[in-house]
Structure 1
Amino acid sequence: MPSSAISRTACLSNFLARMLDSRDWLAARLEASIEARIDADAMRSFIDADHLDEERLGEALRRLRTWVLCHLAVRDLDGRADLAEVTETMTLLAEVAIAAAHEVHREVLVSRHGLPLSISGWEQELIILGMGKLGGRELNVSSDVDLIFVFPEDGETGGERVISNFEFFERLGKRIIRSLADITEHGQVFRVDMRLRPNGDSGPLVCSFEALENYFITQGREWERYAWIKARPLNGERFAELEKIARPFVFRKYLDYGAFNAMRALHAQIRREVTRRDRADNVKTGPGGIREIEFIAQVFQLIRGGRDRELQIRPTLEVLHRLAERNILGEQTVAELSEAYVFLRRLEHRLQYLDDQQTHDLPQDAADRAIIAEAAGFDDEDALLTELERHRRIVSGHFDDVFADPTEKEHKPELEEVWSGAGNDDQPDPILAELGYADPRAVCEKLASVHESTRYQQLPAHIKSRLDALVPRVVEAAGATPSPDQTLSRCLTLLETISRRGAYLALLQQYPHALQRVADLMSASSWATEYLTRHPVLLDELLDDRHLDQTPDWEAFSAELGEALDAIEPDMEHQMDMMREHHHAQVFRLLTQDIAGKLTVERLADHLSALADVILERTLPLVWRKMRKRHRDDPAFAVIAYGKLGGKELGYASDLDIVFLFDDDAPEAMESYSRLAQRVNTWLSTRTAAGILFETDLRLRPNGDAGLLVTSIEAFRKYQLEAAWAWEHQALTRARFAAGDRQVGEAFETIRQEVLCRQRDLDTLRADVLEMRQKMRGAHSGKGEGFELKHDAGGLVDVEFIIQYLVLGHAHEHPELARNLGNIALLGKAGELGLIPAELAAGCSDSYRLFRRLQHRERLNGRPSRVRSEEAEAAREPVIALWHEVFEADAG
């Protein structure tokens, strides 16, 4: 007698009951196995894989399938197996069956025709790709298997009865299909679906790597990209080559928001088919069904997978989890979708256990519905349907949130007419004045120039349609900003720049709130406009409003960047682009916070400086390990920051003033570190497809342009003590260790303290500082109207020169002045020490802050650092007074 578990579950599965009645061996087999999962070894042992031949193959595989499916039915329906066990066991069954069929039939064909060989004599293999749920290790209990057959290279077999590789693998493929799909007195193993292969049913059964790559390039369709996400090689050794062919087709290098329209169209097609066949009760393709959850997960894979390899995975639940980790979907959304997915998949299995049919429809028969409800753990059919409807309603809501077509929302048809009729009407539409445009006629002329441009006229039809849908919304978004005319002009410049990249247009079309943020950003800053136009990939950053309130965690960012760079080692070109993209994204996040008024100028500079330090710290080891000649594992080498980076006052477009030092007695040290310094500089300043990291300035090294690119610690100390000019010691007041070997950095700081704390003749120092200041004023100040914030008398440079003089003149008595505290803190310290009047120190500190804010404001809008005299007049007074106190009163 079967156990109570087997008897109980046989009442919930007509298929299980039939198998128990017709297979006298099955009950005992189930009794022995149902306490544990079945693994691949157990399956291979069951069919005696090592002794299979063509005669035994078909029956053995079908008996295996009967055992495994009935085993799962008992464990699942009895509450012993979760969804993961069921799908993984079915996946293992498919893998074991396909592998056995492949080995048996290949051996027979090789005995007749010899090994399939490439032209160069290398043995060839048939690579069997599992697609769909088989590829994702998510196979259901009555699933078909989607397969694609490929082989690496053309050629012919090496036996006496020679055939081409194509013919060999085609014969092998047909035999594998028959072994799995033929229905015999023992049943069937799996239905086999080959329609996902290139050109579907009309295409050849097998194809070479070269033919597959050519197909992707010339004929691959959007829905095939969706299908190939789950492609997984089930055998063979050359799948890495195959992956290189498939990955660029599936995952674009850029953010591919065009996938929304493609997936939306595919879903609409499925929905029409469901409606036509009146299959609203289909838990897979009906509203709120399994397919909608899969589409949500996979659309973000298509969009972001090319830039985030961790999204290039196959299981749906794991994809959803990673989307939550990246804040692409909310945690609650993912929790609800995951819960619904598990519920729907378990219900799907109960539908299929009923009669071993590949069905996803709720049965029409009332008795069968009652069985399904009981199998799913519900008291009655109504309770099951209530829970099913709850999950489907939630899934449909999330699906609509993701895939809602923004072009169907309310809009102003008048604006569409303004764009479509641009250049055809002498009278501007009143809507433009209503939106706040100061010069509607000029706006119409600008729109007409874009509409009639060669660039627009030559756009492909599908991209032109996206632009046509977008421009009226841009006009409306710009109208909502304080300066509509200027904002629209900037927005149109961006649109023209990205017009051939349909994915960017799709992003702005799909996310109206991102479009409004673009308009707000461009209204606030011409520099932001230029930055976004140069790096349109950053449009993606505007989708997540949480970036506005997140304080950067530079330690975490450094670790994340390091892991990402290591993952693509040794691809230097990719690493350079990745570092630039990560850097630009962080700068852009700071920019949006800055424009939103969430950062002071000082805090912004701190963040930009910390970001630059991370980039330098990550660059050094990357470049070092790419050098062929390395005399040690880790370089005894450091990057010293001067200027704005040294003082942690970096701006958006600041150069990096850097010096390279080393402390290494090895004979080859100078050569190695010179090469390292050159490559680091190249890494930072080379313009790649992703842009540039930093312009660099190396002229502050000993002897400037005439000096060596790198300097030993010993030589640096000797130069600073014996040969450096006073202005070089001034520069040293703002220098600091930024990246590299910390011992070298500490040695530099020791030298810096020694140099700055030397006792100096104040008269000589004063004369040197004044001479340098006079040279700078002659070169920069007095070149226009108003007040030049940096170079005019009473400006930023005067404050800096005062501080540098005080440090160099008094640090021997007050070593705390030699610490790199920042200009404002050093002013306060000098006031505390009585070196300058405390009141003037406080006034100069306030002036310095104001000047930096004004300078920042002007630079954000692409203007030189020159303001109206009255804006700065009051702030100049304490600086001029302190200058007189320090340089003229003392001199007298």
Structure 2
Amino acid sequence: MTDLTQSSKSLLAPALAHSRYLQQLLLRHPQLAEETMAQLAQPYSRSSMEEQLSLLPGSDDQVLKQRLRRLRQAVMARLISRELAGLSDLTEVMHTISDLAEVALATALAWVSLPDARYGQPIGEESGQVQELIIVGMGKLGGRELNVSSDIDLIFIFPEDGQTTGPRKISNSEYFSLIGKRLISLIGEITDDGFVFRVDMRLRPFGDVGPLACSFAALEGYLLTQGREWERYAWIKARALSGDEAGLMQMVTPFVYRKYLDYGAYHSMRELHSQIRREVARKDKIDNIKLGPGGIREIEFIGQVFQLIRGGRNKILQLRPTQTILDELAQQGILTHAAVAELQEAYRFLRNTEHRLMYLDDAQTQMLPLNADDQARIAHSMGFSDWAQFREQLTLYRNRVNQHFEHVFVLPPDEGEAHPQAAIWLSAQEGDSTDLAALGFEDPTEINRRLAAMQSSSRYQQMPDRCRKRVDSILPPLIEVAASFHNPDATFTRILDLLEAISRRESYLALLAEHPRTLKRLASLYSASPWVSQYLTRHPILLDELLDFRLLEELPDWPKLGKVLRQELKDLGDDTEAKMDCLRHFQHAHVFRLVCQDLDGLLALETVSDHLSDLADLMLTVTLEQVWQELPNKHRPEPQFAVIGYGKLGGKELGFASDLDIVYLFDDDHPNAPEVYAKYAKRIVNWLTALTPAGHLYDIDLRLRPNGSSGLLVSSIGAFAQYQRESAWVWEHQALTRARYCAGNRNVGNAFETIREDILRTPRDLAKLRDEVRTMRERMLETHPAHAEDVKHVRGGIVDIEFIMQYLILAHASAHQEFCLNSGNIALLSTAAQQELIPPKAAQLAADGYRELRRLQHRSRLNGTELTPKMLQPIQAQLAAVRLLWKTLFEETLIS
């Protein structure tokens, strides 16, 4: 720098005054200052970049890495200097840095694709042609809108599966993964000369858990079966930077763009925007000019929502650059010219500010600085005399963007008007309940008292202003929404409990305030079930689930969800508490989705129980995996250990608040196995039952293990088999009829199933068996009398049906192997009838009664209501049939 002339210094002065990165770069490479000064009048052209790289002798990766990084330094030096000297505009900056990315990627791809003596060339199994890697540029790279310190989002695709031709043959997938890794290293590895671009591959199919490169067929299969709404958004700007772009887009376009006008995109984009907003709120990024309110992302969303809605029928809206799309929306009359002009002006201002933030230290940031020195640098480089003037202009632009965003996505019919019921909330202290009575509240005086109490509470008075304003905006529509339900008082007071619980959580309040449909959906749930209202109030994070109504109607794909959960846990590293919370959030979310579907009548009770049991199996499986990973002093990589479910879990009849009856078994002859698995089991219990900030997973009951509460926590398969054959009581064999393998090692589970079938098929003295079962039922009646409203213990009720079925299994499984199938009591009653062990009519009546009794029990718990004898009146014939069947089996000769 000391060799620069005074005139050179003056021309570079704006850039040097602003950018610490440039100062350090030119101090380290004085010749770069001279080169930048000499060529400052001209943009850095793509051909110049290619020429500089073409001089490479081509010796090894390290040489190419250095040349790529030196090229980036030269491009950055000229970009910063030209822009801050007023010689370039936003378009030049975006295109130049995008050119750099494309040239660097093309050069790196050509280098790593040179013939390899070991592997040869990748050949397509169908065409027999040499395959070429398609580098897909996503996001701003795809739209040629890169910022100066941007990541580049890439996806690697190749047309056909197959294998290479060399002496060491590998699959095309392996080959392209190998050269992809080399390419990422060439571009993204940090060396003494820095990096070219940070490379992000997380947008590829299945994210970080997916293969680094995938074929057309694999990509098409993924998009058809697993592609999510946010991935449609991500692929809007996708562009092939090499290879068969036409073939790629032929596959991707139908996934992104629907043939019809896709107004569902409003909801999808709103949901995605809400996720970003919540992330910003959680991480205190309100001053993030990209993600914060009125930021760059909102402008992008405005253009992209119309692309998703109309792009399938209007091909011109499939263009990628944000500014081009906004102009086209104005041309087509979808947005007004005035609105687009304001958005374009704000976009240029925000992007220019973004670049100046990055020029400071070559850091990928969109956060406004907090220190006065950097604030002054930003203000001056943007043409303002001080930070206050700059912030005033920035606030103006962000407010405009936010207004346009809200207009596009919310479109409230009464924007700017006070809500009709606002006066009820504002005047609550006056004690006038007339308006509440007119709306139909049953006890308007009490509702008014609750409102007044909330207003005067210290909790409300001490809320941050933003939170209090949110509450003030939520309550009037809440009053109106609650009044539309048949139980307005209960609906309103239950949600009021929720508001008080989340009153200092602005992100939750904002969700309710900004999404009227969410408030209506919330009210419908709180009206329908006190159990659900209590569950949601305990776990307000589940309010997020209400953002996308489709999730609440989508049947769970447990294997797919299991992959998602495992990846989430993997991302948490060694943070045990975070992992336990993650498991709880996952379980709570899916219980909530199932209860919503149940209340909407979308699922039969048996289906609800099946899903709740599958969810429990998944949670047990993943918990076992996580605990074993963290267990010290393991003697083998995988545990020879399994969880056996009994009772409702074993019979796949779980309800929303059911305990898990489980037994732990292992099959491992290592001398340390009993001690290791005992510790393992204790940790599993802790992971399942511990109360963390996210709540708890399950209450578990281990009393059905051999020797009950006095027995060992974990049993070997051998000890379990011996106990069942030699020591177990008949009631323990009854319990075994509803037991099944749930989680853990499959071989141990198979060994259990073999023991179970062997025990169930053991021939028995029927008279003695009848006495044992009858005696056990009588003992239960001593502690649980057969009250007429007790669906479980009433004579002819759930317990009698279960005991009848258990008796029939133990009595006849030796002759009828199908009784060993754990197919549920209703199916087993049908089996008993088919085998002529009980009359078909009795079996049908018992099955109908069992189904209705479970439904009554289920609804009673969800609705928070007490059952009455009158509620059981419609099934008296079924109860009577079960009582007759009981009498026939246990007191008289069997009916043939």
Normalised by the size of structure 2, how large is the TM-score? 0.62
In the alignment, structure 1 residue 428 sits paired with structure 2 residue 430: no
* Residues 1:405 and 1:887: Cα distance change in structure 2 (over 3 Å): same
Number of the residue aligned with 2:646:
642
Number of the residue aligned with 1:400:
407
Number of the residue aligned with 2:864:
862
In the TM superposition, residue 628 of structure 1 has moved relative to its aligned partner by 1.2
Structure 1 residues 498-517: aligned runs within 5 Å: 498-517=502-521
Number of the residue aligned with 1:889:
892
* Residues 1:297 and 1:580: Cα distance change in structure 2 (over 3 Å): closer
State how far apart, in whole Å, the 1-side matches of 2:280 and 2:65 are. 35
State how far apart, in whole Å, the 2-side matches of 1:424 and 1:829 are. 68
State how far apart, in whole Å, the 2-side matches of 1:537 and 1:834 are. 53
* Residues 1:409 and 1:597: Cα distance change in structure 2 (over 3 Å): farther
* Residues 1:887 and 1:35: Cα distance change in structure 2 (over 3 Å): farther
Q: Which moved more, 1:397-406 or 1:459-468?
A: 397-406
In the TM superposition, residue 394 of structure 1 has moved relative to its aligned partner by 13
In the alignment, structure 1 residue 303 sits paired with structure 2 residue 265: no
* Residues 1:67 and 1:487: Cα distance change in structure 2 (over 3 Å): closer
State how far apart, in whole Å, the 1-side matches of 2:873 and 2:543 are. 38
Number of the residue aligned with 1:654:
658
SS of equivalent to 2:829: helix
Equivalent position amino acid for 1:419 in 2? W
Per-residue CA distance 1:668-719 (angstroms, 9 max, x = gap): 0000000111111110011100011000000000000000000000000000
Aligned match for 1:418, one of 417, 420, 424: 424
In the TM superposition, residue 548 of structure 1 has moved relative to its aligned partner by 3.6
8 Å CA contact retained: 1:91, 1:137: no
State how far apart, in whole Å, the 2-side matches of 1:723 and 1:21 are. 93
State how far apart, in whole Å, the 1-side matches of 2:463 and 2:522 are. 23
Structure 1 residues 381-530: aligned runs within 5 Å: 400-402=407-409, 408=415, 412-413=419-420, 415-425=421-431, 427-429=432-434, 431-530=435-534
SS of equivalent to 1:522: helix
8 Å CA contact retained: 2:69, 2:193: no
Equivalent position amino acid for 1:341 in 2? T
In the TM superposition, residue 818 of structure 1 has moved relative to its aligned partner by 1.4
In the TM superposition, residue 406 of structure 1 has moved relative to its aligned partner by 9.5
Number of the residue aligned with 2:724:
720
Per-residue CA distance 1:607-645 (angstroms, 9 max, x = gap): 000000000111111101101110000000000000000
State how far apart, in whole Å, the 2-side matches of 1:747 and 1:142 are. 59
Equivalent position amino acid for 2:427 in 1? G
SS of equivalent to 1:890: coil
8 Å CA contact retained: 1:333, 1:398: no
Number of the residue aligned with 2:795:
793
Per-residue CA distance 1:111-165 (angstroms, 9 max, x = gap): xxxxxxxxxxxxxxxxxxxxxxxx988999998889xxxxxxxxxxxxxxxxxxx
* Residues 1:20 and 1:726: Cα distance change in structure 2 (over 3 Å): closer
In the alignment, structure 1 residue 683 sits paired with structure 2 residue 687: yes
Number of the residue aligned with 1:830:
832
In the TM superposition, residue 465 of structure 1 has moved relative to its aligned partner by 1.8
Number of the residue aligned with 2:588:
584
SS of equivalent to 1:563: helix
* Residues 1:329 and 1:800: Cα distance change in structure 2 (over 3 Å): farther
Which runs of 5 or more residues in structure 2 are unaligned? Answer: 1-34, 57-61, 106-138, 151-187, 196-267, 329-344, 350-399
* Residues 1:465 and 1:757: Cα distance change in structure 2 (over 3 Å): same
Number of the residue aligned with 1:817:
819
Number of the residue aligned with 1:701:
705
Which runs of 5 or more residues in structure 1 are unaligned? Answer: 1-18, 51-56, 93-134, 147-231, 240-292, 348-356, 362-392
Structure 1 residues 217-228: aligned runs within 5 Å: none
State how far apart, in whole Å, the 2-side matches of 1:404 and 1:328 are. 14
Query: Could you tell me the percent identity over the aligned residues?
Result: 40
SS of equivalent to 1:737: strand
* Residues 1:670 and 1:474: Cα distance change in structure 2 (over 3 Å): same
Equivalent position amino acid for 2:407 in 1? D
In the TM superposition, residue 533 of structure 1 has moved relative to its aligned partner by 0.5
SS of equivalent to 2:663: strand
In the TM superposition, residue 436 of structure 1 has moved relative to its aligned partner by 2.2
Structure having the higher Rg = 1
Number of the residue aligned with 1:575:
579
In the TM superposition, residue 333 of structure 1 has moved relative to its aligned partner by 8.4
In the TM superposition, residue 844 of structure 1 has moved relative to its aligned partner by 0.6
8 Å CA contact retained: 1:296, 1:402: no
State how far apart, in whole Å, the 2-side matches of 1:20 and 1:542 are. 55
* Residues 1:338 and 1:797: Cα distance change in structure 2 (over 3 Å): farther
* Residues 1:358 and 1:550: Cα distance change in structure 2 (over 3 Å): closer
State how far apart, in whole Å, the 2-side matches of 1:359 and 1:548 are. 36
State how far apart, in whole Å, the 1-side matches of 2:519 and 2:415 are. 16
State how far apart, in whole Å, the 1-side matches of 2:458 and 2:63 are. 65
Superposed CA RMSD = 4.9
* Residues 1:142 and 1:438: Cα distance change in structure 2 (over 3 Å): closer
In the alignment, structure 1 residue 341 sits paired with structure 2 residue 322: yes
Per-residue CA distance 1:840-878 (angstroms, 9 max, x = gap): 001110111111111111000234565534244233122
In the alignment, structure 1 residue 629 sits paired with structure 2 residue 633: yes
Equivalent position amino acid for 1:482 in 2? H
Query: How many residues of Structure 1 are paired with residues of Structure 2 in the alignment?
Result: 628
Aligned match for 1:748, one of 731, 737, 752: 752
State how far apart, in whole Å, the 2-side matches of 1:27 and 1:467 are. 53
In the TM superposition, residue 457 of structure 1 has moved relative to its aligned partner by 2.6
SS of equivalent to 2:891: helix
In the alignment, structure 1 residue 880 sits paired with structure 2 residue 877: no
In the alignment, structure 1 residue 769 sits paired with structure 2 residue 773: yes
In the TM superposition, residue 455 of structure 1 has moved relative to its aligned partner by 2.3
* Residues 1:639 and 1:399: Cα distance change in structure 2 (over 3 Å): same
Per-residue CA distance 1:25-75 (angstroms, 9 max, x = gap): 98999867558989997896599799xxxxxx9x99867989999xx99xx
Equivalent position amino acid for 1:505 in 2? L
State how far apart, in whole Å, the 2-side matches of 1:815 and 1:774 are. 29
In the TM superposition, residue 442 of structure 1 has moved relative to its aligned partner by 2.2
State how far apart, in whole Å, the 1-side matches of 2:484 and 2:547 are. 19
Aligned match for 2:614, one of 588, 610, 617: 610
State how far apart, in whole Å, the 2-side matches of 1:551 and 1:444 are. 41
State how far apart, in whole Å, the 2-side matches of 1:876 and 1:524 are. 29
State how far apart, in whole Å, the 1-side matches of 2:68 and 2:645 are. 69
Equivalent position amino acid for 1:400 in 2? H
Number of the residue aligned with 1:166:
none
In the alignment, structure 1 residue 561 sits paired with structure 2 residue 536: no
State how far apart, in whole Å, the 2-side matches of 1:359 and 1:550 are. 37
Equivalent position amino acid for 1:472 in 2? P
8 Å CA contact retained: 2:97, 2:146: no
Per-residue CA distance 1:213-265 (angstroms, 9 max, x = gap): xxxxxxxxxxxxxxxxxxx99999999xxxxxxxxxxxxxxxxxxxxxxxxxx
State how far apart, in whole Å, the 2-side matches of 1:82 and 1:665 are. 66
State how far apart, in whole Å, the 1-side matches of 2:289 and 2:63 are. 24
* Residues 1:454 and 1:832: Cα distance change in structure 2 (over 3 Å): same
State how far apart, in whole Å, the 2-side matches of 1:806 and 1:26 are. 92
SS of equivalent to 2:665: strand
* Residues 1:26 and 1:84: Cα distance change in structure 2 (over 3 Å): closer
* Residues 1:731 and 1:341: Cα distance change in structure 2 (over 3 Å): same
Per-residue CA distance 1:77-126 (angstroms, 9 max, x = gap): 9xxx989833747999xxxxxxxxxxxxxxxxxxxxxxxxxxxxxxxxxx
In the TM superposition, residue 594 of structure 1 has moved relative to its aligned partner by 0.6
In the TM superposition, residue 540 of structure 1 has moved relative to its aligned partner by 1.0
* Residues 1:751 and 1:598: Cα distance change in structure 2 (over 3 Å): same
Equivalent position amino acid for 1:813 in 2? A
8 Å CA contact retained: 2:678, 2:713: yes
SS of equivalent to 1:529: helix
* Residues 1:238 and 1:494: Cα distance change in structure 2 (over 3 Å): farther
